[in-house]
Amino acid sequence: MDAEERGRAARAALAGGRFADVRWVEETGSTNADALELARSGEPEGIVLVAEHQSAGRGRLGRAWQAPRGASLLCTVLLRPPAAVAPATTLAVALSAAEAVESLTGLAPRLKWPNDLVWPGDGSGADRKLAGVLAEVDWPAASHIAAGWAEPRPGDRLVVAVGIGLNVAWGPDVPEELADLAVALDHLVEPGAVPDRTTLLVAMLEHLDRRYADLVGDPEGPARLRTDGCARSATLGRRVRVDLGGDDVVGTAVDLSPEGHLVVETLEGERRTLAVGDVVHLRPL
């Protein structure tokens, strides 16, 4: 199927749901950038942008996200959650993607904080990346750049573009520099069992519809999301080094905060709650 046909099939399967407005194109620069532009023009939440190829895909900390054409599910969901739960949207999308993979393949990816789906390694810390999730937040609707940034109130709606790149069918020719770092579904399942990307997208959005409704509509929703995130975490209980840019924190990852931040018990016995940072899973002592 080409992009137009895939988009039509996804919209039909999702009709009546929150995320039925699927717009699938052959190529774009970045689906995250496109979603933020749509939001600035007044488009509502629920739009899902998908591309066969991104020429300027985004990763964390300004990194580029590269994937062979048609080999990965590359998409962004446009959301407008209340500010109080906006940080949890990354976890909601990551969990929904992991649940979709499990429902279609039987595989159970784990979540590496803050934003990766990984396939567990051999216990030495050598997990391989299956997907990356990147949430970008725009200015609160009531703020103006000329007036400076204003801290949003908990009930203010924020624009959040949550993008995911999930490796589906890379084939045998994985670049040597990625062989020990990344993995695709076709490396983990039997030939013929790799899910179609349209089917995978629909399954992920069906899970996300339920999780997002719970997150924004039930006071207990964020707590349930955190509990499920902890249960699927590849990071909790492990020795980690968290790169904060000018500082490193080394210790054991022990919890997620209600906002989805990582709680690390340092070697000195101090507990630190980290909102951002690059995590390295260390070998057990």
Whether residues 163 and 259 share a domain: the answer is: no
How far apart (Å, rounded) are the C-alpha atoms in residues 207 and 210?
5
The tens-digit pLDDT sequence of the chain (285 residues) is 899 999 999 999 999 999 999 999 999 999 999 999 999 999 999 999 999 999 876 554 455 556 677 899 999 999 999 999 999 999 999 999 999 999 999 999 999 999 899 998 765 547 899 999 999 998 655 555 455 556 778 888 899 999 999 999 988 777 677 767 899 999 999 988 999 999 999 999 999 999 999 999 999 999 999 999 999 999 999 999 999 887 899 999 999 998 889 999 998 999 999 988 899 998 877
Whether residues 116 and 51 share a domain: the answer is: yes
Whether residues 185 and 262 share a domain: the answer is: no
Among the candidates 231, 251, 271, a domain finishes at 231
Structural domains counted in the chain: 2
Q: Which domain covers residue 12, as residue numbers?
A: 3-231
Query: Cα–Cα–Cα angle for 11, 15, 17, nearest 5°?
Result: 110
Total-model pTM: 0.91
How far apart (Å, rounded) are the C-alpha atoms in residues 135 and 169?
24
Tell me, what's the pLDDT at 61? 45
Whether residues 59 and 173 share a domain: the answer is: yes
Secondary structure of residue 32 in the 3-state scheme? helix
Whether residues 109 and 139 share a domain: the answer is: yes
How far apart (Å, rounded) are the C-alpha atoms in residues 163 and 99?
17
Kind of pairing between the strands at 21-28 and 47-54: parallel
Whether residues 223 and 141 share a domain: the answer is: yes
Q: Which two tokens stand for residue 77?
A: 């969901």
Is the Cβ–Cβ distance between 259 and 88 less than 8 Å? Answer: yes
Indicate which CATH number applies to the domain containing 104. 3.30.930.10
Element (H, E) at 201: helix 197-217
Whether residues 218 and 253 share a domain: the answer is: no
DSSP 123-191: SSS--EEEEEEEEEEPPPTT-BGGGB--PPPTTSB--EEEEEEEE----S---GGGTTTB--GGGTS-T
Whether residues 183 and 269 share a domain: the answer is: no
Whether residues 121 and 168 share a domain: the answer is: yes
Among the candidates 215, 231, 247, a domain finishes at 231
b (16+ CB within 10 A) / e for 186-208: bbbbeeeebbebbebbbbbbbbb
Is the Cβ–Cβ distance between 222 and 83 less than 8 Å? Answer: no
Indicate which CATH number applies to the domain containing 270. 2.30.30.100
Whether residues 204 and 260 share a domain: the answer is: no
Tell me, what's the pLDDT at 69? 76
How far apart (Å, rounded) are the C-alpha atoms in residues 136 and 156?
16
Whether residues 213 and 267 share a domain: the answer is: no
Q: Which two tokens stand for residue 260?
A: 């989805």
Secondary structure of residue 80 in the 3-state scheme? coil
How far apart (Å, rounded) are the C-alpha atoms in residues 207 and 217?
15
Whether residues 26 and 123 share a domain: the answer is: yes
Is the Cβ–Cβ distance between 76 and 86 less than 8 Å? Answer: no
